[in-house]
Structures are given as structure tokens and as C-alpha cells.
Amino acid sequence: MKGPILPGATVGVLGSGQLGRMFAIAARRMGYRVHTFSPDYDTPTGQVADVEVRAEYEDLDAVRAFASKVDVVTFEFENVSSACAEAAASLVPVRPAGNVLHITQNRKREKTFLAAAGIPVAPFAVIDSLAALEHEIGRIGRPAVLKSAGFGYDGKGQAKIGPETDLGAAWKAVGEQEAVLEAFIDFECEVSVVAARSLTGEFAHFGVVENAHANHILDVTISPARVSEAVRRDAIQIAHAILAKLEVVGVLCVEFFLEKSGRLLVNELAPRPHNSGHFTFDANVTCQFEQQLRAICGLPLGSTRQYRPAAMANLLGDLWSSGTPDWQRVCSLGDVKLHLYGKAAARAGRKMGHLTVMADTAAEAGERVRMARDLLRR
């Protein structure tokens, strides 16, 4: 389809989790139809989409049939095979393009791309055997982190290597498969930038946000991050350079470590809306999901102006361990926004929803969103 893809058209989403759900809500609000494709049924995205297609990503005939009924395809998580993206792209535009997916879904390709582009990253080495690990640990040093090259998120497929860690055990912990060995960074904090790039190269960002993790899973995001103006400027410039170099059309999140010296190191890329950008659904003129829609449909990007400082707290399945959380109690707080993802089964570590709070300061928003989450515990 030439020219912008206007409201009334149909957008296809590969994946069906909470990111697709919030994307579908934003798309339907603007008058688009949404079809979702995944191996599951009654999914967070499927519950609000117009059509839910259930098939495996490896079923390329099903992917092509899905693509034939939509005007553009995007994805809501990066663990979709490049063959799947290529099958869809044979019929309609896929945005971001499959090459972006190919690079960012594999740590080896991602780190190599970033280093070649002159983007600051932690010292790293590609590991393909125990012998390689034993050799490279001498160069990288201890402590270090060994991460499986493919299909890792929320701390999965990782092993920390301390002064006494047995390298054979670490190699087994990542499945004895291709991995990346990274120097351990004693960072001040973790920050991220969620940004968008349009078909014409227009760039927009949601500022620098501050992230706190628990058990390798994002716990709380505070916006704006409590960092210096120099750090803020550098983070946005690096994000802009990455999106331009990758020729992203859509939304991409750049996750950083901020060293105590003030230097930023890129940790990971996510070529889609991101957990650390969920606050934008309530706190910004244009949320990250509408921005993704605008970018992939060839529309001008929207204003990213933030109304007030904000904070987001994840609601993990652990909250359900003593029964259903006390929704009535948290909803009695008029300034707290509750988002639930429609997942049937709560499991420890599973993202079931989130809370958002706006306040006069970022610190106050962070304190209040944590307090609100505590009220849910029975």
C-alpha cells in the first residue's frame, strides 16, 4: 500500500501479550481494526482485537494467510523468527523490518552491531564453547555475566561469574549454547529511552526514565529519571543514533547502565514498546503504543509531552499468592491508574498488570506507586 495507512485499515500484530493488548486499545481508539497472531487463544491481545488467529509462528502458510488480510504487520515481542517476518513481508509492509528483529533478538548480533556502530557497550566476548569461556574470562575478568545469545529476557539464560564460580557450571547454566560474556558493570542505576522513528526519519522520544529491577524483572519505572542534564542528553543522542543506524520504523527501547562516573553503556535493545514506557499510556499526550501505530502507518508522530512526573509499578503473579489482590482498596485511591492484562493464570514472576501514578515530583510518584501496590497485598 502506497502512502499513509489511514484509520479504517487493518493492522496485524505478531504476538498476543500485554504489549499487543495496549497497542490494540490505542489502535482501535483511532479507528483501526486489529488482527493478532500467536500460538495461544483468549490472549491479552486477542481479548480486545477484532480477529485472533491461533497458529504457530513456524507455520509460514498460516503467517502468509494472516498477512493477506491486513494492511501492515508489526510485532509486540522480538522472539519471532526472521522466516516468519519474511513470510509476512512478502505480502505487506512489516515494521520495524525483519532485519531489525534479526539483530535485536540475538545478543551476539546485537552487541556486535552496537560495537561496530561505535555505540558504548560493556566489554564483551562471543562464547561458543567451554574452552572459549576459559580463554576469554582472562581478558574480560571477574566478576562477569554469561548470557545465552538467543531468546533471553527478564534474566533468563544468564549466569553470574564471581571469583570462585566454576566455569563449567556457568556454561551448563546457559545451556551449553552460543553465549555472550560481558564484564560486570557496577552501575549507579539503570535507565532507558523509549523512542520512535517514522518512515520519513522523524524522531521522537519519551525522555530518560529510571528503572529499578527485582530478580531481573522490571519492578518500578520513574519518569523523568533523576539524572543530570548531560546524562539525559547523551542517552537521547545515543538512542537517536541507534534508531537511525537500524533504520527503525516504529518504536524501540534502549536500555542503559549508568556508571558511577556518569558514562552510559547500552545494555539491551527492544524493537517494540517496552515495559518501562507503560506510564505513557496515562502520563503523555501520545503514548508509546499510539506512537508505534503512527510510525508503522506512515502518519506524523504525536507529541510526547508528559503531563506530570509519573511512576509505574509492575504487578507480578506473586501478588496472587494469598488470593485475589484487593482491587477495591487500590481503586479507592483516585490518582492511581490500574491496568490488568487479562491473563487467566497468575504465576510467580509473571507480569499480570501494572499501576501508574502521577505526582508533583518523580520521587513522590515513585513512593506513591509503591504504596499503592502494597495496598493490594492481603
Q: What is the pLDDT of residues 124-157, one digit of tens each?
A: 999 999 999 999 999 999 999 999 998 655 556 8
Give the per-residue pLDDT at 79. 83
Is residue 271 within 8 Å of residue 77, measured between CB atoms? no
Give the per-residue pLDDT at 30. 98
Give the per-residue pLDDT at 151. 64
pTM of the entire predicted model: 0.95
Residues 182-193: b if buried by 16+ CB within 10 A, e if exposed: bbebebebbbbb
Distance (Å, whole) CA 228 – CA 205? 17
Give the per-residue pLDDT at 74. 98
Give the per-residue pLDDT at 153. 59
Sorted by where each begins, the domain ranges of the chain are 10-94, 123-183, 187-375
Q: Which amino acid is at 218?
A: L
Tell me the CATH number for domain 123-183.
Answer: 3.30.1490.20
10-94 is a CATH 3.20.10.10 domain: no
Q: Which residues of the chain have pLDDT under 70?
A: 1, 151-156, 378
Is residue 38 within 8 Å of residue 76, measured between CB atoms? no
Q: Secondary structure of 65-132 in the HEC alphabet?
A: HHHCCCCEEEECCCCCCHHHHHHHHCCCCECCCHHHHHHHCEHHHHHHHHHHCCCCECCEEEECCHHH
Query: Is it true that 123-183 and 187-375 share their CATH fold?
Result: no
Closest CA to 204 of 215, 194, 214: 194
The pairing of beta strand 264-270 with beta strand 250-259: antiparallel
Q: What's domain 187-375's architecture? A: 2-Layer Sandwich (3.30)
Give the per-residue pLDDT at 316. 98
